[in-house]
Amino acid sequence: MESLVCICGAGTMGRGIALAAASQGISVILYDLDPETIHSATSAIKKELELLTGKKQTPAEEKENILRRITFTSLISDCRAPLIIEAILEKTEAKSALFLELARINNDETLFVTNTSSLSVTRIAGQTPFPERIAGLHFFNPANRMKLVEIIRTKYISEYVLQRIIAFAGQLGKTAVVCRDAPGFIVNHVARPFYLEALRLAETGTADRTTIDKLMESAGFKMGPFHLMDLIGNDINYTVSCSLYEALGRPDRLKPSALQEAMVQRGELGKKTGSGFFQYTKPVSE
């Protein structure tokens, strides 16, 4: 059982993972190199806890305990823990470099987990001298609410590490599926046409984004593709499309969308920036 974890990156995913762990009694070090992000993560976690206690999904008396378990920091020197989870930007080199830096201030037993959506965990691990201690643990957004996690097993991982990550997912109350390292793992592979075909319908003027979302929601999907892309972040969603497209040999059917690329360039990232396929009010505290 884990009693302390460090989460690197306090953006959309890192803050949700921190809340998931702290809610299960685990102490959390939540680190981001950007002090502003640490500030907004603190407000966002408090706000989510208010919401959960309001809905009686978290007992009111637990709120302060959960918050107390999280240490917010913008100092990498604070990142010492037996299990480190990274949720930083979606770039192989950045992720491996962070693991190498963290290995210098941790010990030979520390396990490293990447929350990558689409990058090769084998490549990230292969760029370090300790690949057997690295696994993929892919959470879904919002990470404190979504039950599913994908555990990605590379050719290097030791059985002990794999079992510890499976046990950690259980400790978080998640439903874990283990899969081999492959482009997009399971969910992002299966779901890619959901986004790309919707984008193509909008680009060709077949139907507008509101109509497409309404139709998909009426058909039983919890969220239409455009609202979901805004929730994920258009930058993340577009990067995932690009990495799958490249990894699978650039098939036409998986060509990333020019419309979404232009939105990313304009900073229309979705909920997190207040503007995406739809408009959102940004919380004052953030």
Ligand X SMILES: NC(=O)c1ccc[n+]([C@@H]2O[C@H](COP(=O)([O-])OP(=O)(O)OC[C@H]3O[C@@H](n4cnc5c(N)ncnc54)[C@H](O)[C@@H]3O)[C@@H](O)[C@H]2O)c1
37 three-class SS? helix
Candidate residues 23, 58, 106, 116; the one interacting with ligand X per rule CB under 6 A = 116
Minimum Å distance from CB 200 to ligand X? 21
Q: CA 79, 85, 86 angle in degrees (round to 5)? A: 90
Q: Catalytic site residue 218? A: no
Candidate residues 30, 44, 98, 111; the one interacting with ligand X per rule CB under 6 A = 98
Assess contact for 49 and 18: CB atoms under 8 A: no
169 binds ligand X (CB under 6 A): no
94 binds ligand X (CB under 6 A): yes
Q: Name the residue number minimizing CB distance to ligand X.
A: 11
- Asked, as a colleague might, if the bond just before 142 is cis with ω within 30 of 0, I would say yes
Q: What is the C-alpha separation between 142 and 156, in angstroms, rounded?
A: 29
8 binds ligand X (CB under 6 A): yes
Catalytic pick from 23, 86, 118, 138? 138
How many residues contact ligand X, by CB under 6 A?
Answer: 28
Buried b or exposed e, range 194-228, using 16+ CB within 10 angstroms: ebbebbebbeeeeeebeebbeebeeeeeeebbbbb
Q: What is the C-alpha separation between 64 and 23, in angstroms, rounded?
A: 11
| Residue closer to ligand X, measured from CB, 101 or 203 | 101
Binding mask 28-67 for ligand X (x = CB under 6 A): ----xxx--x------------------------------
Catalytic pick from 120, 188, 237, 243? 188
Candidate residues 13, 151, 216, 229; the one interacting with ligand X per rule CB under 6 A = 13
**Radius of gyration, alpha carbons of the chain:** 19
Q: Catalytic site residue 150? A: yes
Assess contact for 2 and 83: CB atoms under 8 A: yes
9 binds ligand X (CB under 6 A): yes
Q: Which has the closest alpha carbon to 195: 160, 245, 126, 161?
A: 245
135 binds ligand X (CB under 6 A): no
Q: What is the C-alpha separation between 153 and 156, in angstroms, rounded?
A: 8
Interface residues with ligand X (CB under 6 A) are: 8-14, 32-34, 37, 87-90, 94, 98, 115-117, 138-141, 232-233, 236, 272
